[in-house]
Copies of this chain bind each other. A is one copy, B any other.
Amino acid sequence: MPKNALYAQSGGVTPVINASAYGVISAARRHPDVIGTVYAAQNGILGALDEVLIDTAQLSDADLAALKTTPGGAFGSCRHKLRHGAELTRLFELFAAHDIGYLFYNGGGDSADTCLKVAEFAQYHGYDLTAVHVPKTIDNDLPHSDCSPGFGSVAKYVGTAIREAGLDVASMAASSTKVFILEVMGRHTGWIAASAGLAAQDNDAAPHLILTPEVAFEPGRFLKAVKETIARVGYCTIVAAEGTRDAKGTFLSEAGGADAFGHIQLGGVAPILARLIKDELGHKCHWAVADYLQRAARHIASATDLAQAIAVGEAAVEFAVKGQRSVMPAIIREDSEPYRWRIDAVPLHDVANREKPLPREYLDADGWRLSAEGRAYFAPLIVGEAPPPFVDGLPAYPRWQFSHLPKKLIPFERG
């Protein structure tokens, strides 16, 4: 009798996380003799603890196809660090009650760690569970995978945004705003900020300066570069990572409290830079903070990223069917030009809770722009368009309301 599977989305969503859900569910449907039903946890692991499960058998083929074109998390995601003890035990009560033998956990580095813990708990207690982590993060900081599904689409968004804004600034700089700053995400890494460098066809094209956490921010050096760029080009466009920090590691902006994992919420670097430039150089600045817009911009997703998001979902199921446990499907680059990639299984031990910083050599000597090596890395990830359907002028995204499975367990009191 085939065991059922649990699929859960975890952490910040991406423009293509649902494409991985599509990959998992559609691949599982091709192995009915091995995998029974795929249950999706409503709102990630919290839904699992609360036994709020969605039987994905209710998704029609059209629903499945729509997963490929809808941003956000179709089943809901969460930021919750699974606790040892009561929570982990509860999860296995859920597994037992719903005959779950497969876990497909779709998330980033924190989630890989959770997935591994669940797998280890199962092994220790002799519970027959195949746990596979499905990679996802716009931050691109997962080790052992050449890139992370979600990242390529965000890179395409920020590249498009700074190229477009750059043309806007260029056309008015002679008499108006000379400096434009775009703040992008990326947590403690500069992957997203650096990827915007793809938009620059030459040294005078936007973005002129990229700020990453990997290169310590020095106000004097920065202001000098802004000044020189304005003198040379007539204006200056800047892409700043939210995690931009100085040599001591102090973030330019610490906008709020910490999340469930103890991460500080970043944001607000752009207005701080604008103030610095205004005060020190006297230039009025315009600035934009893309925030969730970049992370949800399915309308300008990368077709390459979409294909990889689907592929890791499908591969996770294929690995599980073959009996591979505690692994993550990783994207392996075979060549950059022409771009070729495959998917390999890497042990979760090697992935969990580790951040992959942007290699310094992906930036030029100054750290302001992409090096040739960096460009070669990023270029293929944004290639191809995969727009969603549009109805009445807007992307047509379904707003699913799924019915939930009847509960079998007594309610769980979360601490």
On A, residues with C-beta under 8 Å from B are 9, 12-13, 43-44, 46, 70-80, 156, 159-161, 163-172, 174-176, 180, 182, 198-199, 201, 205, 256-257, 259-260, 265, 267-268, 270-271, 278, 284, 286-293, 295-300, 302, 304, 379, 382-385, 387, 390, 392-395, 397, 399
Contacts and interface: CB of A to CB of B under 8 A. Distances in A.
10 contacts: A12-B172, A13-B171, A44-B175, A76-B172, A176-B259, A182-B293, A265-B284, A286-B292, A300-B300, A382-B394
A257 B284 CA distance: 8
Contacts of A267: 286-287
A291 B161 CA distance: 11
A120 to B, nearest CB: 24
A270 B43 CA distance: 27
Given A13-B168, A168-B292, 11 more contacts: A43-B174, A76-B171, A161-B297, A163-B394, A164-B297, A164-B395, A180-B292, A270-B289, A286-B292, A288-B293, A383-B393
Contact of A160 (B161, B163, B394): B394
A290 B292 contact: no
Number of copies: 2
Given A284-B265, A291-B287, A399-B205, A176 B79 contact: yes
B13 A175 contact: no
A157 to B, nearest CB: 10
Contact of A288 (B271, B286, B291): B291
A173 to B, nearest CB: 8
A164 B296 contact: yes
Given A164-B395, A293-B165, A392-B383, A256 B284 contact: yes
Contact of A393 (B168, B174, B302): B302
B292 A393 contact: no
A167 B296 contact: yes
Contacts of A159: 393-394
A174 B41 CA distance: 13
Contacts of A165: 291-293, 296
A73 B394 contact: no
B394 A384 contact: no
A107 to B, nearest CB: 12
B297 A292 contact: no
A176 B76 CA distance: 11
A7 to B, nearest CB: 14
Contacts of A71: 164, 167-168
A383 B304 CA distance: 28
B79 A172 contact: yes
With a 10 A CB-CB cut-off, give which of A78, A180, A278, A288 has the most chain B CB atoms.
A288
Given A76-B171, A293-B182, A163 B397 contact: yes
A171 B395 contact: no
Nearest to A291: B288
A43 to B, nearest CB: 4
A335 B169 CA distance: 37
A293 B300 CA distance: 14
B390 A385 contact: yes
Given A13-B171, A77-B172, A259-B176, A290 B293 contact: yes
Contacts of A286: 267, 291-292
Given A291-B288, A295-B168, A300-B299, A174 B394 contact: no
Nearest to A202: B399
Given A160-B299, A180-B292, A291-B288, A72 B171 contact: yes
